[in-house]
Amino acid sequence: MKKVININFQGRILPIEEASYETLKQYIESLRQYFDAEEGRDEIINDIECRIAELCDDRLKKGAVCITEDDMRLIIESIGRPADFEAQDGFEASAPINSSNVKQEQFSDNGNDPQKRLYRDEQNKVIGGVCAGIANYLKLDPLLVRVLWILLFGISFFAYVLLWIAVPNTSASQVGGIRKRLFRDIDTKMIGGVCAGLSKYFGVRVGLIRLLFLIPTVLLVFNWNHFHLFQFWEFDDFPNFIELTFSPSAVFVYIVLWLVLPEARTTADKLQMRGEKVDINSIKNTIQTDMEGFGKRAQTWSSSFDKYKKPAGENETNKTSSSTAEGAAPEPAQRGGCLHFAGRSITILFKAFVYFVLGIITISILAALFGVGVVTTGLLPLRRFVLEDGAHNWYAYAIIVFFIWVPVIGIVTAIIRKIAGVKKANVWVRGGFWSLWALSWIFIPLFFATLTKSFSKQNEPQEEVYKLANAKVNYLEVSAQPKLKYYNHTWLKLEPFTFIDSDTVYVRNLRIRIVKAASDSFEVKYVRISNGKTLGEAERLASKLILTSINKTALYF
């Protein structure tokens, strides 16, 4: 039982088996790829489509119920597949060319193909043919690629699996686009369009893919900063596991894919990327939505293309003058390809590096702001030790909110919006964030001015003397109270304080000087110094300092 569908193909209604419809689509797609560089590509394909439609119609007129797979195969054979065109490269007289010979030639001859593609090599595969495919693509010995792969096993494993899934195998290339193809999507790109392309390929939200790449990268950055966030929850093994297996490779995989994947430039590429059926109408639709900004992109392409083309062209002229035309022809192309690849690699690696550094800077700034925000917010209940009531308080609140939390929230929102692929920038929100942050710059000098003012005056040192009357005790024992834990965490450990609540603070930064006594009586002199807005205020504050406890034999602080 076979499903038959009706299609409107070049103005003819054709009943066609679904399977042969698929074959037809693939065939047209393979033609489109073959004639891609041709000026009159669309016209050629249109002509061929017309002819196919006519041949199908003939078959139906002869009494066929529908176009079967056999019919389609015969029709396609009579017109010829791209592989046959290459083999013929002209036309055949009665002597047929040994076709298997020619096919082999195609494989080794890939360098002349202007649009080189990465395929998994099914013939020389060990696991999935990825290494062999990469070797073909880069014109390296597969062994070299495999050795490198094993050396980098931890890193390359993730990349291997991705490429295995995403890269079509060589047998697919014979028929044409059996699968969707993996491209870098330059229209919705953030960095290199890798995530966007992957999301199109797997049909998932782009944000998900970006998170997959971003989370390990962020963890990597946090690890570098010794921010062991997970230690808190005793998940010690968990982040370590992630760091080891994924974080370097997420960056690595991204760079590899950036290098290896072609950009989706032509409309056919873009449709293939999404796996949509490629016909004149869908191309027209895509072109229409695409026209804006196309001219600009075309210019940058052509300028970068010219840059690469020049050295290749120079090679060609040098070569042809020194050797026969036949020997020289493939080589310049190959060299041009190498140069092109090297140039592209350098730009991409450079870009990747810059983005990586920028990313680390952003994340570090964010982390620092977040840390400061948490600390200052956590200290808010203690503000009365430092701050006075009134305007001073409000300045502090304004600074914490506008200077620290506003940018934190702003950056996080911006990152999320970017990841989620939200293109439309909300001017009001962005403007709001920036102006609030700018506002905080007004409060900062005000705050510090009042702050320094309130600490500007120092009292006369108040001295209190305790005689150590008991002559039998001839020593002074100074011992700190058992350490009280506040937070045993690096960025929450507040060194001078041992214990804090909203109206008492146990201060640890007492200075004790032991000096030789002038007389033979032992004494402890207790000096209290405080700062305040006015002299009287400073004195009042100093008198409030309390020495915790005085024992006959020892002093406890």
Contact residues for other proteins, defined by CB under 8 A: 10-12, 31, 35, 38-40, 43-44, 47-48, 50-51, 53-54, 57, 61, 78-82, 84-85, 88-94, 97, 105, 324, 326
CA distances 273 to 166, 196, 309, Å, are: 11, 10, 27
Nearest by Cα to 206 from 41, 423, 520, 464: 423
Phi, psi of 488 (to 5 degrees): -85, 65
Strand partners, 499: 506
Please identify, using beta-carbon distances, which residue of 328 and 542 lies nearer to other proteins.
328
Q: How many CB atoms are closer than 10 A to CB 53? A: 19
Distance CA 351, CA 357 (A): 10
- Supply the minimum distance, in Å, between the C-beta of residue 57 and other proteins: 6
Please identify, using beta-carbon distances, which residue of 97 and 229 lies nearer to other proteins.
97
Please identify, using beta-carbon distances, which residue of 11 and 295 lies nearer to other proteins.
11
Please identify, using beta-carbon distances, which residue of 49 and 69 lies nearer to other proteins.
49
- Supply the minimum distance, in Å, between the C-beta of residue 306 and other proteins: 24
Q: Are residues 377 and 400 in contact, defined by beta-carbon separation less than 8 angstroms?
A: yes
- Supply the minimum distance, in Å, between the C-beta of residue 61 and other proteins: 7
- Supply the minimum distance, in Å, between the C-beta of residue 301 and other proteins: 23
CA distances 4 to 15, 24, 46, 395, 402, Å, are: 6, 14, 24, 76, 66
- Supply the minimum distance, in Å, between the C-beta of residue 286 and other proteins: 23
- Supply the minimum distance, in Å, between the C-beta of residue 9 and other proteins: 11
Strand partners, 477: 554
Please identify, using beta-carbon distances, which residue of 43 and 70 lies nearer to other proteins.
43
Please identify, using beta-carbon distances, which residue of 169 and 173 lies nearer to other proteins.
173
- Supply the minimum distance, in Å, between the C-beta of residue 329 and other proteins: 11
Distance CA 409, CA 10 (A): 55
Phi, psi of 297 (to 5 degrees): -65, -40
Please identify, using beta-carbon distances, which residue of 79 and 360 lies nearer to other proteins.
79
Distance CA 306, CA 287 (A): 25
Distance CA 132, CA 116 (A): 15
Q: Are residues 519 and 439 in contact, defined by beta-carbon separation less than 8 angstroms?
A: no
Distance CA 384, CA 503 (A): 8
Please identify, using beta-carbon distances, which residue of 81 and 297 lies nearer to other proteins.
81
Q: What is the DSSP string of 476-523?
A: -EEEPPPPPPS--SGGG--TTEEEE-SS-EEE----------SSSS-E
- Supply the minimum distance, in Å, between the C-beta of residue 287 and other proteins: 20
Nearest by Cα to 163 from 119, 211, 210, 216: 119
- Supply the minimum distance, in Å, between the C-beta of residue 82 and other proteins: 8
Q: How many CB atoms are closer than 10 A to CB 151? A: 10
Please identify, using beta-carbon distances, which residue of 56 and 196 lies nearer to other proteins.
56
Q: Token digits for 164?
A: 């295995």
DSSP state, 197?
Answer: H
Please identify, using beta-carbon distances, which residue of 35 and 149 lies nearer to other proteins.
35
Q: How many CB atoms are closer than 10 A to CB 211? A: 16
Phi, psi of 128 (to 5 degrees): -120, 0
- Supply the minimum distance, in Å, between the C-beta of residue 102 and other proteins: 8
